[in-house]
Amino acid sequence: MRLTRESINQNVVRAQYAVRGELAVKSEEYRARLKKGDKTLPFEQIISANIGNPQQLDQKPITFFRQVLSLLENPQLLDKEDVLVESLGYKSDVIERARRLLKEVGSVGAYSASAGAPAIKESIAAFLERRDGFPADPSKIFLSAGASSGVNTLLNVISADVNTGVLIPIPQYPLYTATLSLLNAKAVPYYLDESKAWSTNLEIVKEAYEKGKAEGVDVRCIVIINPGNPTGASLAEKDIRDVIDFASQKNLVVMADEVYQTNVFIGEFHSFKSVLRKLQKENPGKYDGVELASLHSISKGMVGECGHRGGYFELVGFDSEVEAEIYKFVSIMLCAPVIGQCLVELMVNPPKEGEPSHELYQKEYSAIFNGLRDRATALHKAFEQMEGVECTEPQGSMYLFPTIKLPAKALDAAAAEGRKADEFYCLKMLEATGVCVVPGSGFGQKEGTLHFRTTFLAPGTEWISSIVKFHKEFLDKCR
């Protein structure tokens, strides 16, 4: 009997992942038509503002990273060091780093140890100590194929059965609810406070927890995305302290998704690890039982190397037998891509001041950061001019998540097509402008509200003005 949608794993059928959903598929169809010379579309390019994919949207790779990678992929180039330096502009620290990494991993075409190359784990631990002011243990660090793979590992281990529940922020990055669907476990939603720049309100978290428990759910974990996706919110230290304290009281694993930690425009980034260690220092014994898993990735920040699939997670406070099971789980996948592991090492240990590549690295890093901030500001200003659109000031990450208010005629038109109103709006935007965004319903939103998520990665401002023009025409047509 052939497989049918009805006969396959229904957990897969139920899983939703809007970031690469219908609109993304349609945008790729348009892209293919444009590539073939189709002149019938009302736009000349596709802007994939639906996904944080920096290099697809012309963010340039950092020179130091790519030069080192080129030598790792083709070590024979190291036999021509004079050509590298004199003709191709490679600096001595690029060559030195490549030799050191090759010595540690042997070949990027070979498997590494299951949890990652030991020397790279040591480099990450040194980075965490510099960042947080507290030591890190390399044996508690696991390299992964991007943060998504780490999330998958952790949720697989945490989710014991159909009754397992995980507190998920709403709106959220749909990886979490999709993975829980695949595992047939339960997402326990807690709503972020849009009126306070999408902050995490502990009272709302408590209510969600109690509701889950009252429904018989075994709530085991709380996910925090900081800085936020899709909201861009950056948590204050007090909010992090509150979450850790609550997790300590209820024996919840804290899963801190910190992949946007360098994308902060307002305030500063506070890692969960640093705040936990401060609490443990201030209150001896009280927080020693807290289990924290924090994740980071090369896909975001100023690195933007999504396609190289590199990341890591660090475990704090986990039982050694549970750690052994996590190790077994990652071993089943053999290891994270070794070239991605090497990129993680470069991210956490970039050229230092005084080293030959530092000046160019700093120039490129700052240019990317300033460009992201400037485009976020420009997009936010555009939203402020649009009727019925409200958006919090960009704080961080790579996204804005504006509220849209649509007239009744638009709601009726969406219903007539069997679509959610925000989905209908985003589809019409794509058809008119070539700009692909994601409906807020793909991330979760309060009943009666409508949103969409857009990145601010694409260069230029023409695409922003095309959204403004579309919005006005859409409203005029639906009045």
Q: What is the pLDDT of residue 126?
A: 97
In DSSP terms, 280 is beta-bridged to none
Alpha-carbon distances, residue 85 vs 64, 76, 338 (angstroms) = 13, 15, 26
Interval 177-187: pLDDT, tens: 889 989 999 99
CA dihedral 446, 448, 454, 460 (to 10 degrees): -140
Alpha-carbon distances, residue 180 vs 13, 217, 256 (angstroms) = 13, 14, 16
Co-location of 125 and 229 in the same domain:
yes
Which of 235-249, 263-277, 438-452 comes out lowest in average pLDDT?
A: 438-452
Distance between CA 445 and CA 178 in Å, rounded? 16
Co-location of 468 and 370 in the same domain:
yes
Backbone angles phi, psi at 143, to 5 degrees: -75, 145
Asked if 309 and 340 count as a contact pair (C-beta separation under 8 A), the reply is yes
pLDDT (average), residues 456-469: 83
Q: What is the pLDDT of residue 433?
A: 92
Q: What is the CATH number of the domain that holds 306?
A: 3.40.640.10
pLDDT (average), residues 246-252: 96
Residue 285 Ramachandran class (φ > 0 left, ψ -120 to 50 alpha, else beta): left
Residue 409 lies in a domain: yes
Residue partners of 429: CB distance under 8 A and separation at least 6: 435, 437, 467, 470, 471, 474
Biggest alpha carbon–alpha carbon distance for the chain = 70
Co-location of 269 and 395 in the same domain:
no
Q: What is the pLDDT of residue 97?
A: 95
Contacts of 378-386 spanning 24+ positions with Cβ under 8 A: 378/456, 378/461, 378/464, 379/454, 379/456, 379/464, 382/464, 382/465, 382/467, 382/468, 385/468, 386/468, 386/471, 386/472
Residue partners of 210: CB distance under 8 A and separation at least 6: none
Interval 127-174: pLDDT, tens: 999 999 999 999 999 999 989 899 999 999 999 999 999 999 998 888
- pLDDT range class, residue 19, cuts 50, 70, 90: low
Give the chain's mean pLDDT.
90
Asked if the model's pLDDT at residue 289 lies above 90, the reply is: yes
Residue partners of 278: CB distance under 8 A and separation at least 6: none
Asked if 337 and 113 count as a contact pair (C-beta separation under 8 A), the reply is no
Co-location of 294 and 403 in the same domain:
no
More confident residue, 14 or 180: 180
Residue 64 lies in a domain: no
Co-location of 198 and 323 in the same domain:
yes
Segments of 117-217 assigned E as strands = 141-144, 164-170, 186-191
More confident residue, 124 or 45: 124
Distance between CA 190 and CA 27 in Å, rounded? 32
Co-location of 438 and 295 in the same domain:
no
Lookup result for tokens 């509150």: 242
Residue 103 lies in a domain: no
Asked if the model's pLDDT at residue 75 lies above 90, the reply is: yes
Q: Mark which of 348, 379, 412 sits at the end of a domain.
A: 348
Q: What is the pLDDT of residue 210?
A: 95
Residue 390 lies in a domain: yes
Co-location of 400 and 473 in the same domain:
yes
Co-location of 38 and 123 in the same domain:
no
Interval 41-68: pLDDT, tens: 888 888 888 877 787 777 899 999 999 9
Asked if 329 and 149 count as a contact pair (C-beta separation under 8 A), the reply is no
Q: Mark which of 294, 323, 348 sits at the end of a domain.
A: 348
Share of the chain above pLDDT 70, in %: 99
Q: Which helix (H) or strand (E) holds 439?
A: strand 438-439
What are the respective helix, strand and coil percentages of the chain, to the nearest 5? 50, 15, 35
Co-location of 125 and 185 in the same domain:
yes
Asked if the model's pLDDT at residue 213 lies above 90, the reply is: yes
Alpha-carbon distances, residue 394 vs 248, 274, 403 (angstroms) = 31, 24, 14
More confident residue, 293 or 465: 293
Co-location of 147 and 121 in the same domain:
yes
Co-location of 312 and 397 in the same domain:
no
The closest alpha carbon to 105, from 62, 71, 80, belongs to: 71
Which of 27-31, 285-289, 361-365, 396-400 comes out lowest in average pLDDT?
A: 396-400
pLDDT (average), residues 308-320: 95
Q: What is the pLDDT of residue 20?
A: 63
Q: What is the pLDDT of residue 419?
A: 85
Q: What is the CATH number of the domain that holds 402?
A: 3.90.1150.10
pLDDT (average), residues 189-218: 91
Distance between CA 462 and CA 460 in Å, rounded? 6
Omega before 171 within 30 of 0, i.e. cis: yes
Residue 357 lies in a domain: no
Residue 258 lies in a domain: yes
Residue partners of 325: CB distance under 8 A and separation at least 6: 157
Q: What is the pLDDT of residue 256?
A: 96
Residue 465 lies in a domain: yes
pLDDT (average), residues 21-28: 84
The whole domain housing 236 covers 111-348
More confident residue, 43 or 288: 288
In DSSP terms, 193 is beta-bridged to 199
**SS3 (DSSP) at 325:** helix
Which of 199-208, 294-303, 441-450 comes out lowest in average pLDDT?
A: 441-450
Residue 86 lies in a domain: no
Co-location of 425 and 313 in the same domain:
no
Asked if the model's pLDDT at residue 369 lies above 70, the reply is: yes
Lookup result for tokens 């443990």: 280
- In this prediction the pTM is 0.90
Asked if the model's pLDDT at residue 215 lies above 90, the reply is: yes
**SS3 (DSSP) at 458:** coil
**Number of domains into which the chain is organized:** 2
Q: Across 190-204, 343-357, 379-393, which has the greatest mean pLDDT?
A: 343-357
Asked if 276 and 312 count as a contact pair (C-beta separation under 8 A), the reply is no
